[in-house]
Amino acid sequence: MEPGNETQILEFLLLGFSEEPELQTFLFGLFLSMYLVTVFGNLLIVLATITDSHLHTPMYFFLSNLSFIDICVSSTTVPKMLVNIHMQNRVITYGGCITQMYFFLLLAALDDFLLAVMAYDRFVAICHPLHYTIIMNPRLCVLLVLGSWIISVLYAFLQNSLVLRLSFCAPLEIPHFFCEYNQMVQLACSDTFLNDIVMYFAAGLLGGGPFIGIIFSYSKIVSSICVISSSLGKYKAFSTCASHLTVVFLFYSTSLGVYFSSFAMHSAHASAPASVMYAVFTPMLNPFIYSLRNKDIKGALKRFFGVNS
CATH code, domain carrying 176: 1.20.1070.10
The model's pTM: 0.90
Better-scored residue on pLDDT, 300 or 42: 42
Domain that holds residue 26: 10-304
Torsion of CA 25, 31, 32, 35, to 10 degrees: 180
> Shortest CA distance to 303 belongs to which of 27, 110, 47?
47
For residue 87, being part of any structural domain is answered with yes
Q: How many domains does the chain have?
A: 1
% of the chain exceeding 90 in pLDDT: 49
Is the separation of the CB atoms in 102 and 157 below 8 Å?
yes
For residue 309, being part of any structural domain is answered with no
Query: What is the per-residue pLDDT across 111-123, written as a single tens digit (0 to 9) for each?
Result: 999 999 999 999 9
Task: Determine the pLDDT at residue 261.
Answer: 59
Is the separation of the CB atoms in 261 and 274 below 8 Å?
yes
For residue 2, being part of any structural domain is answered with no
The angle at the Cα of 227, spanning 222 to 230, to the nearest 5 degrees, equals 110
pLDDT band with cut points at 50, 70 and 90 for residue 39: very high
Q: How many helices (H) and strands (E) does the chain have?
A: 12, 3
Task: Determine the pLDDT at residue 4.
Answer: 40
Asked whether the predicted pLDDT for residue 104 surpasses 50, the reply is yes
Residue 176, SS3 per DSSP = coil
Task: Determine the pLDDT at residue 255.
Answer: 80
* Secondary structure in 3-state letters for 48-112: HHHHCHHHCCHHHHHHHHHHHHHHHHHHHHHHHHHHHHHHCCCEEEHHHHHHHHHHHHHHHHHHH
For residue 4, being part of any structural domain is answered with no
Task: Determine the pLDDT at residue 5.
Answer: 45
pLDDT band with cut points at 50, 70 and 90 for residue 267: low
* Region of poorest pLDDT, from 59-63, 78-82, 169-173, 250-254: 169-173
Distance CA 274, CA 260 (A): 10
